């Protein structure tokens, strides 16, 4: 028992004396709690998302009481073409416009659109002209699968590189490597390629295995999809290297990696669309690498997008990767 208590006491002292890890363990839950409180604040109980072109006053002048109902989120659009595109991809449930002719649009494959149409008719909307959008039905599994694959790449790359290098440094393994002719850039590139090969192999296996189990939609190029995930993995690995460049505490590294991964998991559109969210949140999501991986892969799989449609996402991922690699290599320390 004395030996057990001695080891227990030593481990407790080790953790408490690591002030950076102790502070991060205490502060990180508060950061996450405050962040989620800001993001999901308010009493929003939205059931349906309704887009409109024009102004609310124009709809009210058309005697459409529909816009006064509770639990509807009214999302403004500058032009009809953009709004119809959102409707065709089930990002909104209905589109209404009072001018030049009172009309509404519904997606024929949307259950929510069907129910909203019945509600519209009972709240002054019978005089509105109906327009139907006929598109291929996009199931939730078709929509969420690209996000799940990207999400798995994110976790595997961030923790598989960042956490491992910190463990190497803490154990003294990096200090011993410093005495060899090995250069820092050679070590980092080897770590990157090892994790990159592993993650792409795992992602390919998961994708092929899922295709046998789930009849999901894949309308675009498999080669382009592979390239998107490859570039996304490089970006995530590079970000993990930045975190692990100097840190010697596994607890602190774990906290920092969680601080990076949780916002991406929530705000990058993996599980739900940010359509109608606060514009600041939508803009913040654009600085997250996972957002561009999810958007590009989802466009290829569900819309059949080509390189010309997803090149902005690929450009952002490339620039982020270059910045992360340069910063990580410059600030990397063996000890």
pLDDT tens, residue by residue, 131-153: 887 666 666 677 788 888 888 88
Domain presence at residue 171: yes
CATH number at 127 reads: 3.40.190.10
**Looking at the structure, do residues 189 and 76 belong to the same domain, yes or no?**
no
Domain boundary among the residues 115, 133, 151 is at 133
| pTM (two decimals) | 0.70
**Looking at the structure, do residues 184 and 325 belong to the same domain, yes or no?**
yes
**Looking at the structure, do residues 171 and 207 belong to the same domain, yes or no?**
yes
Share of the chain above pLDDT 90, in %: 8
Domain boundary among the residues 114, 133, 152 is at 133
Read off the tokens for 279: 């514009």
Angle at 155 between CA 158 and CA 241, to 5 degrees: 5
Instruction: Provide the pLDDT confidence category of residue 330 given band limits of 50, 70 and 90.
Output: confident
Instruction: Provide the pLDDT confidence category of residue 193 given band limits of 50, 70 and 90.
Output: confident
Helix ranges, the chain (H): 2-17, 19-39, 56-61, 80-88, 111-121, 140-157, 164-171, 173-178, 184-213, 222-244, 250-267, 279-285, 289-303, 307-331
Instruction: Provide the pLDDT confidence category of residue 230 given band limits of 50, 70 and 90.
Output: very high
Express each pLDDT in 32-87 by its tens digit.
Answer: 556 655 655 555 566 788 888 888 887 777 777 777 777 787 888 888 888 887 78
Domain membership of residue 93 as a residue range:
48-133
Domain presence at residue 41: no
Residue 313 and residue 319: Cα distance in Å, rounded?
Answer: 10
**Looking at the structure, do residues 205 and 107 belong to the same domain, yes or no?**
no
Q: How many independent structural domains does the chain possess?
A: 2
Give me the pLDDT at residue 317, please.
93
**Looking at the structure, do residues 279 and 178 belong to the same domain, yes or no?**
yes
Give me the pLDDT at residue 26, please.
59
**Looking at the structure, do residues 186 and 321 belong to the same domain, yes or no?**
yes
**Looking at the structure, do residues 78 and 167 belong to the same domain, yes or no?**
no
DSSP state for residue 27 in the 8-state scheme: H
**Looking at the structure, do residues 118 and 215 belong to the same domain, yes or no?**
no
Domain boundary among the residues 133, 148, 182 is at 133
pLDDT of residue 324 exceeding 80, the answer is yes
Mean of all residue pLDDT scores within the chain: 79
Read off the tokens for 240: 């993990």
**Looking at the structure, do residues 213 and 298 belong to the same domain, yes or no?**
yes
Higher-confidence residue: 106 or 89? 106
Instruction: Tell whether the torsion through CA atoms of 208, 210, 211 and 212 is positive or negative.
Output: positive
**Looking at the structure, do residues 60 and 177 belong to the same domain, yes or no?**
no
Express each pLDDT in 268-317 by its tens digit.
Answer: 877 777 766 677 877 888 888 988 998 899 888 888 888 888 899 999 99
Domain presence at residue 250: yes
What is the H or E stretch that residue 96 is in? Answer: strand 94-97
Give me the pLDDT at residue 14, please.
62
Whether the bond between 120 and the residue before it is cis, its omega within 30 degrees of 0, is no
Domain presence at residue 177: yes
Share of the chain above pLDDT 70, in %: 84
Domain presence at residue 24: no
**Looking at the structure, do residues 129 and 185 belong to the same domain, yes or no?**
no
Domain presence at residue 32: no
Give me the pLDDT at residue 229, please.
93
Domain presence at residue 161: yes
**Looking at the structure, do residues 214 and 265 belong to the same domain, yes or no?**
yes
Domain presence at residue 230: yes
Give me the pLDDT at residue 36, please.
55
């Amino acid at each position: 028992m004395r030996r057990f208590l001695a080891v227990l006491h030593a481990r407790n002292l080790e953790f408490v004396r690591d002030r950076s890890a102790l502070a991060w363990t205490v502060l990180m839950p508060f950061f996450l709690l405050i962040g989620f409180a800001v993001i999901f604040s308010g009493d929003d109980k939205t059931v349906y998302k309704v887009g409109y072109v024009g102004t609310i006053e124009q709809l009210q002048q058309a005697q459409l009481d529909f816009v006064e109902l509770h639990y509807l989120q009214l999302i403004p659009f500058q032009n009809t073409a953009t709004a119809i595109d959102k409707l065709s991809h089930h990002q909104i449930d209905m589109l209404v416009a009072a001018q030049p002719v009172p009309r509404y649009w519904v997606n024929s494959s949307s259950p929510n659109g069907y129910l909203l149409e019945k509600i519209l008719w009972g709240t002054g909307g019978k005089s509105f002209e109906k327009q139907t959008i006929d598109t291929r039905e996009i199931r939730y599994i078709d929509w969420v699968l690209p996000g799940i694959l990207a999400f798995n790449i994110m976790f595997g790359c961030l923790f598989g590189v960042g956490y491992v290098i910190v463990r190497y440094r803490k154990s003294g393994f990096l200090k011993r490597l410093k005495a060899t002719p090995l250069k820092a850039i050679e070590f980092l590139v080897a770590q990157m390629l090892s994790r990159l090969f592993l993650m792409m192999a795992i992602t390919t296996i998961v994708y092929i295995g899922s295709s046998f189990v789930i009849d999901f939609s894949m309308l675009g190029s498999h080669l382009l999809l592979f390239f998107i995930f490859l570039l996304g993995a490089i970006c995530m690995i590079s970000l993990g290297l930045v975190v692990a460049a100097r840190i010697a505490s596994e607890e602190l590294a774990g906290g920092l990696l969680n601080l990076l991964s949780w916002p991406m998991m929530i705000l990058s559109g993996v599980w739900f669309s940010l359509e109608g969210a606060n514009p600041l949140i939508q803009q913040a999501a654009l600085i997250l690498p996972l957002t561009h991986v999810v958007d590009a892969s989802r466009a290829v799989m569900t819309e059949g997008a080509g390189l010309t449609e997803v090149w902005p996402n690929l450009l952002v991922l490339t620039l982020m990767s270059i910045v992360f690699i340069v910063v990580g290599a410059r600030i990397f320390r063996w000890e």
